[in-house]
Amino acid sequence: MPIAFHRVYLESAGYFMPGEPVSNDAMDSYIAPLNRMSSRIKGRILAENGINQRYYAIDADGATVFTNAQLAANAIRDCLRRHDSDLSDVSLLASGSSGGDALMPGFSNMIQGELAAQPMETVSVHGICAAGVSAIQTAAQGVELGGHASALAVASELPSRLFKRSRFAARGYDADFDAHFLRWMLSDGAGAVLLGNTGRPLPGASQGVRLRLKWVHQRSFSGDYPVCMQLGLSADRARGHLDYPSWNEAEADGALSLRQDIRLLPHLFDIGIHEYAKLVRDGWLDPDQVDHFLCHYSSEKFIPVVEDLMEKAGLVIPRERWFSNLAWRGNTGAASILIMLAEFLETREVKPGEQIFCYIPESGRFMAAYMLLEAEAVHAPLAAAAVAAPREDAHSGDADAIAPPHDPDMAPQGLGQLLTELAAIWHDYRSRVWRTPVVRRLRNRQFQTADYLNWMENWIPQVREGSKWMREGAASLSEQYAPLAALIDMHAGEEQNDFQILFQDYRNAGGAVADIDALRRNPGGEALNAYLHGLAATRDPIGLLGAIYIIEGTGQRIVPALLPLLKASLKLPPDAFRFLEYHGHNDEHHLARWLSAVELALDCDEDGRAEQRIVDTARRTAALYLMQFHHVMEGDAS
């Protein structure tokens, strides 16, 4: 649940970009190509990320011009200058960064020392992109609880020191793509915000506007996914940099190279948008009321990804409300959202009543962070008890007052509400799947061929039943659903032999059972099969569309993330993974067909219960499919 704030105001924001802007053509003067592949990789990445210039705190010889603490201190000075405030009034300093200039002491203490600031409370948050939001949340809580009248949050990054060509000398100027990637993505900079309880107007605001922080929400999914972005681990994530006999050996093995596994990145936005949908569903945010959307994306390539996911959830924020400075400030990690917010307030006029919504995904081991701010007229009374909280009347009060309108002309259009409900179910299901013993063993690189064979022995007879219960369900549909029945029959026909591909994969992987009829579902698979066949036999089993959403979604969202881990863990021929390859590529098409089926079902729905039946079946199917995952390694908590 988000943390709501009653009386915390953003009173000023500032930023600091070191030196002169560095164009794409001039990058090689600072982070020279490593080998013949560098230029090709650089061209591809820059063409996708949309960054035209960035800033470096190193010079062309690789010497550090500004330390990270100096970047942060300069951003703080800019923030205080804009508000004509004095550092002596600040009693809490919270910092966020992926790393200071020293491994210890804490980064906030180093910034305090750089500022020669008076004694104060300090908090250092170590993370990646969301660390800046964590610093803001920490400072806001200090103000909210009354412990501090004025607090600073600062985020600063200086990754360019990692990208110098000399850093790769120990490896013979060799680097894999994952280590190459971030050299052309990240840059240096710092941002700072001043939070207080006085509600003073924003600097330069023509209408006397103050900006209230309504809530902050952060959620980590590190228990679900493997490491995506890292520094200090070997390429296979098996060894930490301190586990090597010496720093030189760690560097030679690439353990001190900053890496990003770009194959996992699409899942970051998937979980982020599902979490966003949950915020909307629970009443914390109304997309129609968002006037300004500040989204921290590392590459413009991800703009259509975010837009598409929002559209599928029926929760679009129009592009004309988006603000980003990625093209001319670069990607500065944890500092990005603070720099973005400061520049937004510097260049845009915010009017009373307008809302600013911030979304910050973090790819380290997957986090999603969100903030909502609202502009108020200065003459309005200071907020005392108004809290951005879920609508309490959503599930209480007179039944007629909260019932949906019965007039068809006034009924909500589209599938937004249904997709939002399904997204919330999927969000919880996916997270639980990634924490099951079988997936945890796979993530931890402990998965063996015997585990894969055991899994398929359970799974093959379950997949075998898919087309059967779909056809049975289609046959149970009454005449009013004839178009839907035809579509389901066509889909079942396409999938009726898929289990044979999976069985052949099993045999190619060394499976010993030669007779497919000898395979048995595990208890979870048995329960799921019984439920789906039982439901399919009932009259007009529209709810089966909820089951298909979960099952096809597993193939389109979970399988693609598991497949690279399987291939990396198991020394098996390519023809042992054909089923997973097929579904990873084709289930997106199947989900598009599913959407058409839902539209047909709702068009034919006479009693108005179809949406709820789809949602209820999706929830039950998710629980049973999760049970199937658990029983693959029942009792294994490793």
Domain coordinates of the chain in residue numbers?
3-377, 408-632
Q: Which are the contacts of 177, defined by CB distance < 8 A and separation ≥ 6?
A: 41, 262
Structure tokens at 632: 């693959």
R_g (Cα) of the chain, nearest Å? 27
Q: Give the CATH architecture of domain 3-377.
A: 3-Layer(aba) Sandwich (3.40)
| Greater model confidence, 94 or 436 | 94
Sign of CA dihedral 302, 304, 308, 311: positive
Cβ count near 385 (within 10 Å) = 6
* pLDDT, mean over the chain: 87
Q: Which are the contacts of 304, defined by CB distance < 8 A and separation ≥ 6?
A: none
Q: What is the rounded CA–CA span in Å between residue 565 and residue 569?
A: 6
CB 319 within 8 A of CB 343: no
Give me the mean pLDDT over the 260-274 stretch: 86
What percentage of the chain carries pLDDT values higher than 90? 58
- Asked if the model's pLDDT at residue 83 lies above 70, the reply is yes
**Most confident region among 272-276, 310-314, 528-532, 546-550 by mean pLDDT:** 528-532
With cut-offs at 50, 70 and 90, classify the pLDDT of residue 195: very high
Instruction: Identify the pLDDT of residue 267.
Output: 83
Strands 355-362 and 290-295, sheet pairing:
parallel
| Greater model confidence, 307 or 325 | 325
Of 229-238, 453-462, 600-609, the poorest mean pLDDT is in 600-609
Closest CA to 85 of 190, 203, 189, 191: 203
Q: pLDDT tens digits, residue range 326-349?
A: 999 999 999 999 999 999 999 999
- Asked if the model's pLDDT at residue 544 lies above 60, the reply is yes
Give me the mean pLDDT over the 421-434 stretch: 86
- Which CATH number among 1.10.3720.10, 3.30.70.1450, 3.40.50.2300, 1.20.910.10 corresponds to the domain 408-632? 1.20.910.10
Strands 322-323 and 290-295, sheet pairing:
parallel
Q: pLDDT tens digits, residue range 124-149?
A: 999 999 999 999 999 999 999 999 99
Instruction: Identify the pLDDT of residue 451.
Output: 92
- Asked if the model's pLDDT at residue 395 lies above 50, the reply is no
Domain 408-632 in the same topology as domain 3-377 = no
Q: Which are the contacts of 517, defined by CB distance < 8 A and separation ≥ 6?
A: none
Instruction: Identify the pLDDT of residue 218.
Output: 97
- Strand, coil or helix: what is 23? strand
Structure tokens at 236: 């296979």
Q: pLDDT tens digits, residue range 36-68?
A: 888 888 899 999 999 999 999 999 999 999 999
Instruction: Identify the pLDDT of residue 302.
Output: 85
With cut-offs at 50, 70 and 90, classify the pLDDT of residue 311: confident
Between helix 523-536 and helix 544-553 the angle, nearest 10°, is 140
Instruction: Identify the pLDDT of residue 315.
Output: 85
| Greater model confidence, 149 or 204 | 149
Give me the mean pLDDT over the 580-598 stretch: 68
Give me the mean pLDDT over the 421-448 stretch: 87
**Most confident region among 102-116, 266-280, 451-465 by mean pLDDT:** 102-116
Single pTM value for the model: 0.81
Residues forming beta bridges with residue 92, ordered by sequence position = 121, 151
Assess whether the previous peptide bond of 390 is cis (omega < 30° from 0).
no
With cut-offs at 50, 70 and 90, classify the pLDDT of residue 394: very low
Structure tokens at 52: 């035209």
Q: Which are the contacts of 593, defined by CB distance < 8 A and separation ≥ 6?
A: 487, 491
Of 204-213, 439-448, 613-622, the poorest mean pLDDT is in 204-213
CB 572 within 8 A of CB 507: no
**Most confident region among 152-166, 254-268, 620-634 by mean pLDDT:** 152-166
Give me the mean pLDDT over the 63-81 stretch: 98
Instruction: Identify the pLDDT of residue 409.
Output: 31
